[in-house]
Amino acid sequence: AKGSIALVGAGPGDPELLTLKALRLLQAADVVLYDDLVAPEILDMGRREATKIPVGKRGYRPSCKQDDIIDLMIKLAAEGKRVVRLKGGDPMIFGRASEELAALHAAGIATSVTPGVTAALGAAASLQLSLTERVRARRLQFITAHAHDGRLPEDIDWRALADPCASSVIYMGARTLNSLVERLAAHGADPSTPALLVERATCPDERVIRGTLASLPAKAAALSPSGPCLILIGAVFAGGVEAEQIREAADIAIA
Amino acid sequence: AKGSIALVGAGPGDPELLTLKALRLLQAADVVLYDDLVAPEILDMGRREATKIPVGKRGYRPSCKQDDIIDLMIKLAAEGKRVVRLKGGDPMIFGRASEELAALHAAGIATSVTPGVTAALGAAASLQLSLTERVRARRLQFITAHAHDGRLPEDIDWRALADPCASSVIYMGARTLNSLVERLAAHGADPSTPALLVERATCPDERVIRGTLASLPAKAAALSPSGPCLILIGAVFAGGVEAEQIREAADIAIA
């Protein structure tokens, strides 16, 4: 049998946000390579006989670097294994998929990509706040606030990020939130722009910190989030119903 | 029983890209209100006894306006119905969800939102091209090219769209492609920037037209796409393996 690699999005956190296709591929896999952020419940949906290997930065190996992951994928495919590379969220958004696909294509390995619900969509659904809106949010933009060295990237068009008519979602945004807010202010962003931090979007222990560009850094520091965080910035993120109300209403709506 | 409305994303086209949660809600619904772009296979996954009502612009009703849809949802919820409002892609991206949620919350109706795979993620997966990349695409942005009057919106930050270090995905972009390219050129975009048109992303009859900002309008006009189209613009959309190769490889990878 010929080996293959399927890059598969695991969705934002809630195991029920896995797609039917991701489930089918998981149930057909010989080997599952999975990131830190993938819930154990999702791994449990995979084929029982599959070998499951953590390849995240907090995986059991002393160093699981991108090159090592690529080498492992090529080795497994050469052995004829059907491999699922399970990534948090969607593989094509801040997932370093282009490096993996380029190496796999160069090695002549059959690949496929299955999209997943990216964290921004999960957070918006939890909050019941649309990411786009006529007039107030015609443009939606995503950046990651975490460069190679762990600091805020330098090469971002900050003016575009500070646009009051756009919604912005910042992935991996908790650690560099202070620098981000400083940058946006320096590029003309209104300090009263609504800004939220969402930790572990769509998970049972999801937390939301509501504020403005001016107030969010102090509020976030006080609550010291430890899970993966998104920062949502823009006029559309004002108001909305409170988290508790949403949860109660969602319980009725889902029941 | 108390009625409720669940806004549910149906994903980009391929019925297998539905989430497990969307499937569960569909199977519990009394009424399903669905948009034009939702595949019949997805509706068939719903509870057999459910009433299924098209509410898209091409629905069977002479005029299915946003206000009529909202009135219908409120009426059904008041009758105690569990309603799924099924939207193409993700409800929170260009889905006019904020209007619906505001009206439903004002009417005191229990609501929930279930995210879906938005079309941009589906297209990127089909093409096996990552939407983001270190250095070349730190920022990802989405706009819709279809304003209220069917023309290109005026109130867009075109300079942000023309940024050579961002990836841009334009929803509903086929009809206004010429104007879009003119605007981007006027704001400094390089005419040789890679640009793709993807029609019916993730569907079996998906079509991809590859070009540059300079060449895409004429190529797209010659092929006259009729289904929903995305335009993808940015350095990361150059190259990639050819569609036929991807399909063959995907067949192996999925088999």
Which residue in A5, A19, A157 is closest to B163 by CB distance? A157
Q: Measured between CA atoms, how close is A226 to chain B, in angstroms?
A: 24
Residue B255, pLDDT score:
42
Distance from CA of B87 to the nearest CA of A (A): 13
On chain B, the residues whose CB falls within 8 A of the CB of A140 are: 93, 141-143
Query: Exposed (0-12), middle (13-18) or buried (19+): which is A187, by Cβ within 10 Å?
Result: middle
pLDDT at residue B103 in the model: 96
Total length of chain B: 255
Distant-in-sequence, close-in-space partners of B165: CB < 8 Å, separation ≥ 6: A155, A157, B135, B136, B137, B138, B139, B235
> Which residues from chain A sit within 8 angstroms of residue B134, using beta carbons?
96, 148
Local structure of residue A136 (DSSP, 8 states) = T
Residues in chain A: 255
Helices (H), chain A: 20-28, 40-44, 66-78, 97-106, 119-127, 158-161, 177-186, 216-223, 243-254
User: Complex ipTM, two decimals?
Assistant: 0.93
C-alpha distances (whole Å) from A161 to each of A102, A167, A198 are 30, 9, 19
Distant-in-sequence contacts of B186-189, Cβ < 8 A, 24+ apart: B186/B158, B187/B158, B187/B159, B187/B161, B187/B162, B188/B159, B188/B162, B189/B161, B189/B162, B189/B164, B189/B213, B189/B233
Three-class SS state of A194: strand
SS3 A60: coil
Block means of pLDDT (10 residues each) for chain B, 255 residues, are 93 98 98 94 95 77 76 97 97 94 96 98 98 93 88 91 97 94 97 97 96 96 92 90 53 52
What is the DSSP secondary structure assignment for residue A151, as one 8-state letter?
S
Phi, psi of A75 (to 5 degrees): -60, -45
In the prediction, which pLDDT does B242 show? 54
- Is A17 within 8 Å of B14 when comparing Cβ atoms? no
Q: What is the pLDDT, as a whole number, of residue A65?
A: 83
Whole-number Å distance between alpha carbons of A70 and A81: 14
Nearest-angstrom CA–CA distance, B181 and B189: 9
CATH code: domain B4-114 is 3.40.1010.10
pLDDT along chain A (255 residues), means of 10: 93 98 98 94 95 77 76 97 97 95 96 98 98 93 88 91 97 94 97 97 96 96 92 90 52 51
Nearest to B131 among A92, A134, A138 (CB): A92
Helices first, then strands: H and E counts in chain B: 9, 10
Query: Which chain A residues are Cβ-neighbours of B144 within 8 angstroms?
Result: 132, 138
Chains A, B: CB contacts under 8 A, how many?
240
Could you list the active site residues of B?
Answer: 35, 57
Tokens linked to B140: 């990802």
Q: Do A116 and B116 touch (CB under 8 A)?
A: no
* Non-local CB neighbours of A196 within 8 Å, separated by 6+ positions: A127, A208, A209, A210, A211, A216, A231, A232, A233, A237
Catalytic residue (choose from A57, A65, A68, A71): A57
**Calpha distance A96→A91 (Å, rounded):** 8
Reduce the DSSP state of residue B29 to 3 states and report it.
coil
- Token pair listed for A128: 């019941």
Q: Do B160 and A156 touch (CB under 8 A)?
A: no
Nearest chain A Cα distance for residue B174, angstroms = 17
In this complex, which of B97, B132, B143 lies closest to A93 when CB atoms are compared? B132
- B157 contact residues in A (CB cutoff 8 A): 139, 160, 163, 165-166
Q: Are B153 and A138 within 8 A, CB to CB?
A: yes
Q: CA-based Rg of chain B, rounded to a whole angstrom?
A: 19
**Beta strand B31-34 with B51-54: parallel, antiparallel or unpaired?**
parallel
Nearest to A155 among B97, B135, B248 (CB): B135
CATH of region B119-244, choose from 3.40.50.880, 3.40.50.620, 3.30.950.10, 3.40.50.1000: 3.30.950.10
**In chain A, where the domains are located:** 4-114, 119-244
Phi and psi dihedrals of A216, rounded to 5? Answer: -65, -45
